[in-house]
Amino acid sequence: MKRFLAATATMAFLLAMCTAVLASSGGSEVSADEALSRLKEGNTRFVSQANVAPHQDAARRHETATGGQHPFATVLSCADSRAPVEVLFDQGVGDLFVVRVAGNVAATDEIGTIEYGAEHLGVPLVVVLAHTKCGAVTAVVKNEPVTENIGKLVAPIVPAVKGIKARFAASDVNEIISRSIEANMWQAISDIYAKSPMLKKMAADGKIKVVGALYDIDSGEVRWFGEHPSEGSLLDN
């Protein structure tokens, strides 16, 4: 009997959670903090294998096809196949405006896409999502030979790696890689502000929030770092 009651309570909880997620609205009606909470809740469901897989049916496809898209968060992430953004945040069609590129770098194409999400779609939150064991960062740390195009692609990662190597010269390569992955996340946020006067002003005016996060490809957990440690000076310059 106790097992039955516990199972019933668990099912009721999951049904309530599912109803809440499915009833959630788009980006234009949520704040940056609400959007962040929604991502955190989704990742918690993913890690605990309690996914509700919202907004993945025919009704949702029709809704977004006829009514347009209203994502509640923009996520700049790596193209690594082990970091599927909608899956790890337990979201569905029309929920996230995702920009994926090797090394989650913020160059012209990525920043322009983020600008579109912020200005035209009204997305209040931008997440720069790094991940453990990033191949692009590893290649830069180890100075591995790459093609000309890949070299240009990973160029924004170089300053972050140089800074870590200068500060932690005595560390082993694995620690350098780990620290460089985090530093590259901050580098991307700095590049967003440095290369986009529009996004910089929107952040300064409180219209958007830009935060960093790190996805662990083994545990499935997302570690949240918040806004850039030098947010104030980045927005004042």
Binding positions are 78, 80, 131, 134
- Residues annotated in a binding site for Zn(2+): 78, 80, 131, 134
DSSP state of 135: H
- Pairing state of beta strands 209-215 and 125-131? parallel
What is the Cα–Cα distance from 9 to 30, expressed in whole angstroms?
A: 30
CB 179 within 8 A of CB 164: yes
What is the Cα–Cα distance from 98 to 120, expressed in whole angstroms?
A: 15
CB 96 within 8 A of CB 73: yes
What is the Cα–Cα distance from 58 to 119, expressed in whole angstroms?
A: 28
Our measurement of the distance from residue 226's CA atom to the centroid of its chain's CA atoms, rounded to an integer in Å, reads 11
CB 127 within 8 A of CB 39: yes
Q: Return the structure tokens found at 156.
A: 């924004």
Neighbours of 184 (CB within 10 A): 30
